[in-house]
Structure 1
Amino acid sequence: MNKRFILRIEKLALGGFGLGFHEGKAVFAQRMAVGDLAEVELVKERKDTAFARPLRWLERGKGVREADCASFDLDDPCGGCDWLMLDYPAQLAAKTELVRELLQPLAPDLKIGATPASPNPVNYRNKAFLPVGSGADGLYYGIYARWSHRIVPHQRCVLHPQLFDTIAQRCLEICRKAGVQAYSEASHTGTLRHIGLRCNKDQSSVLLILVTRGAKLPFSNLFVKQITAEFPCISGIVQNINRERGNVILGPEDKLLYGNPWLFDELAGKRFRIHYRSFWQINRGTTEQIIARLQKLMGSAGLVFDAYSGIGALGLNLAAQAERVLCVEECREAALDGELNSELNDLANVDHLCARVEDALPALLSDQQSSPCKTPDVIILDPPRSGVKPAALQAIIDTGIERIFYLSCAPMTLHRDLKILLGSGRYKLEGIQTFDMFPQTWHIETLAWLSRL
């Protein structure tokens, strides 16, 4: 295959790529939409597929717009957005079609509805961790390019609040004057690795996390004094220490430099404490859409298991419809948040268990006589991208829990796990609904619900 060739995009594919064909091979191209015709450059070639990037546009497809970000149109762009070149209705339609194509074969007669618009299609991320680098002009921050740890600098990101960029830029100015060096992955030297930020609904409370290679942070007291004076909304500053090589952002050690390592927020009329390590859905408006749908679908229930519960965002919002809710969460900080959140919202029928779901479910469900739990009527699954572990799925199948609600941020692992549940012969897929948790990207949040046969 030639290094340069003309490519027409015929459809969008999982992963955020435009898909075309050249010389009998499927070619996946970044930042290209259906109908785009461009001269492209080969990036990688395999036996049956190839990957390319656009060099020169010949025609643009329907729904294409000018991207509102200087970092998106670079030769090697930031990896934060996949579809910033598509208008929003086109993004929603593409997400619906991708999920239909992948999941419809599991239940051919099932109608998969259109993806509703997010109430917050831009500036929606309530959390961001921004890698820090160093160049000719000193420290800078940005977002990694796709498939690499090369930092693409930016001044303003359309995904998170502008306040995050304003605070991050001031952090670097103070650090430059203090002589703080950026961390280098190549040499495993330097100090500052990431700047992390998390905010509440109205940005009146912000957590600032400085991820460093070692415990020493020059002039940290002066840094705290200056940044909090300029940004009174900062309610907590944490120095997280990550001494290891690799791409894991957070290390196991913390130093609280100011305030608290958590903030308080509201979701669907309930109040939550959120530790900076705790999982909390990044798009509040879309999460409230999901909660409203779950409340309608679930109706009344006896015992509800909320697996991978985080701080209890879903389980606590369903507690009024259940006799009892058991939240199971592996992260210690999130489980502690969950316990406090039950108290904050006067929910006496919610219990919390800090454990891995794949360990807890088989133990809770295998021996009903010795277990303190009865068989739940409903289980909610909201796993990480890797999906539900086989042991947990098998425990659900063996017990025959009546109803399953599976919320997934990874369509491929959702497809895998649904095949296992349906393949057991014990469950029927009742419905699928997509939600736009991640506007401007290809990522899709999907809710699937099943009933026992």
Structure 2
Amino acid sequence: MEKIAAGGFGIGYGEGKTIFVPYTVIGDVVEVQLVTRKKDVAFAKVQKYITRGPGTIEPPCPSFGPPFFCGGCDWLNLSYETQLKYKTELVREQIQSLKPGIDIPETIASPVTQYYRNKAFMPVGKGKNGLEFGIYERWSHKIVPHKTCFLHPPEFDLIAHRCLELMDNAKVQPYDETSHIGTLRHIGFRCSKDKKQILMILVTRSAKLPFSNLLVKKLTSEFPQLSGIVQNINREKGNVILGNEEKILYGNPYINEEINNLKFRIHYKSFWQVNSAMLQLIIKNINGKVQPEDTVLDTFSGIGVLGLSLAAKVREVFCIEESYDAIEDGKFNCQLNNISNVTFLNGKTEDTLPVILNSPEKYTSKIPEVIILDPPRTGVQKSVLEEIIKAQLSHILYLSCSPITLRRDLNILLESGLYEIISIHPFDMFPQTWHIETLVELKYKK
């Protein structure tokens, strides 16, 4: 294996092909089985490690790598220092050529490297001894069960194991995506930083959930940190986890959190960065890039954690968010923190942004100076970038979880000739995986 690639792959060469192999790193010598072949490219599975490359360690999880191929972690077999090195290299490979000579600093380390995820959804299936949960195997929908995952808090696994034990006793059947029968599809969790509030979400195919009252009574007595239990009902076929119906079986459908002295209510459907400790560092970095006279547009805002965190420093903030539940959380959080200069707008960014930029008088006295882009992994729609270029917004802060789509979108902004990159900062939001969060600052060329 000679290189590292996005997607958590090592790259080797053989038979005239570039071969992508998960669970491998630079310096590994491996025997592989080709899974997918194309003209010049192939994907393969490890059959045998002959020698291991520098920086490798013994993975602490028995479900990691062959023969189980759990899709949760990519680099649990690497020392954390090596993970950071590889992530820096990935960002530099994708982004540095857009502005040759710019300094891309080393990836900022996460304060927590294991058990850091505050949210997890895991599929449920039928195992040898009854119901089981886990993470899908790479390239399949086969569930790889585990006792303790190193990405999310151990409490999630303890509660899930006990929950499925009780459901087994109640004869609850797992959902089968092929026949579209069965009841329990996924089991999910969201927790506060201190783990004192844990919200459990049971995703079912229908509204019927046998012995749900007894289930709630047992779980809440054994796990007092459970602040809410929600039954989400998804009647549709397909890979979308959550449905549009719900029953509150116990407590509240949200948790309460505190970040940088601000309080937040977070609905189980609302977006919130999975690594709370890393989120605090990113907010601090962004806060240093805005000015008191700025009006800020926070797009793809979720509940507005970035916008609300800037509110005390800037003139005005507008948060654009598609999810109604997130908008309601955002408005509540404004009241909770006595913030009066933040406005939430419910709608898709591609629909709402043009209205603000073309008719700013409807909302504010001037066109905003700063726009924050924090899109999903698919990146920003081209029409949104074209609106930014057309309006000649003076300051762009792009927070991306995908170096590949980040490069694509930055290319569009730079090709306009109106913008230049000022700084690039990689943050390790996702330890043990290849994923990385990158903050890029661009300014309008005056």
TM-score, normalised relative to structure 2: 0.98
1:160 to 152, 162, 175: 152
1:348 Cα shift?
Answer: 1.1
Tell me what 1:326 maps to: 318
> Aligned partners of 1:373, 1:343: CA distance in 2, in Å?
23
Q: Map 1:414-429; keep pairs closer than 5 Å.
A: 414-429=406-421
* Aligned length in residues: 445
2:61 to 46, 63, 69: 69
SS in 2 for 1:142: strand
Tell me what 2:223 maps to: 231
1:251 to 225, 243, 253: 243
2:125 to 118, 130, 133: 133
1:341 to 327, 333, 347: 333
1:116 Cα shift?
Answer: 1.3
SS in 2 for 1:321: coil
Question: Structure 2, unaligned stretches of length 5 or more?
Answer: none
Question: Structure 1, unaligned stretches of length 5 or more?
Answer: 1-8
1:29 Cα shift?
Answer: 0.6
> Aligned partners of 2:424, 2:138: CA distance in 1, in Å?
30
> Aligned partners of 2:249, 2:234: CA distance in 1, in Å?
16
Tell me what 1:276 maps to: 268
> Aligned partners of 1:369, 1:331: CA distance in 2, in Å?
25
1:369 Cα shift?
Answer: 4.7
SS in 2 for 1:172: helix
SS in 1 for 2:294: strand
> Aligned partners of 2:267, 2:49: CA distance in 1, in Å?
46
Tell me what 1:394 maps to: 386
More divergent stretch after superposition (367-376 vs 249-258): 367-376
Cα RMSD, aligned residues only: 1.1
More divergent stretch after superposition (297-306 vs 350-359): 297-306
State the Cα deviation string for residues 358-413 of structure 1 (Å, max 9, x = none): 00001111134555452101111101111111221111111111100000011111
SS in 2 for 1:235: strand
Specify the code of the residue in structure 1 equivalent to 2:113: P
SS in 2 for 1:210: strand
Tell me what 1:213 maps to: 205
> Aligned partners of 1:301, 1:98: CA distance in 2, in Å?
36
Q: Map 1:27-176; keep pairs closer than 5 Å.
A: 27-176=19-168
Distance 1:170 1:108, change over 3 A: same
1:23 Cα shift?
Answer: 2.2
1:94 Cα shift?
Answer: 0.3
Tell me what 1:4 maps to: none
SS in 2 for 1:320: coil
State the Cα deviation string for residues 256-302 of structure 1 (Å, max 9, x = none): 11111111011122110000000000001111111111111224342
Runs of 4+ in 1 over 6 A off after TM superposition: none
> Aligned partners of 1:301, 1:14: CA distance in 2, in Å?
39
- Is residue 2:233 matched to residue 1:241? yes
> Aligned partners of 1:35, 1:352: CA distance in 2, in Å?
50
- Is residue 2:187 matched to residue 1:192? no
Query: Are 1:198 and 1:208, in contact at CA under 8 Å, matched by a contact in 2?
Result: yes
% identical aligned pairs: 54
Tell me what 2:442 maps to: 450
> Aligned partners of 1:349, 1:244: CA distance in 2, in Å?
40
Query: Are 2:322 and 2:349, in contact at CA under 8 Å, matched by a contact in 1?
Result: yes
TM-score, normalised relative to structure 1: 0.96
More divergent stretch after superposition (73-82 vs 171-180): 73-82
Specify the code of the residue in structure 2 equivalent to 1:197: F
Query: Are 2:123 and 2:185, in contact at CA under 8 Å, matched by a contact in 1?
Result: yes
SS in 2 for 1:273: strand
> Aligned partners of 2:295, 2:378: CA distance in 1, in Å?
26
Specify the code of the residue in structure 2 equivalent to 1:423: E
Query: Are 1:362 and 1:391, in contact at CA under 8 Å, matched by a contact in 2?
Result: no
SS in 2 for 1:43: strand
- Is residue 2:286 matched to residue 1:294? yes
- Is residue 2:402 matched to residue 1:382? no
> Aligned partners of 1:198, 1:302: CA distance in 2, in Å?
34
Query: Are 1:311 and 1:335, in contact at CA under 8 Å, matched by a contact in 2?
Result: yes
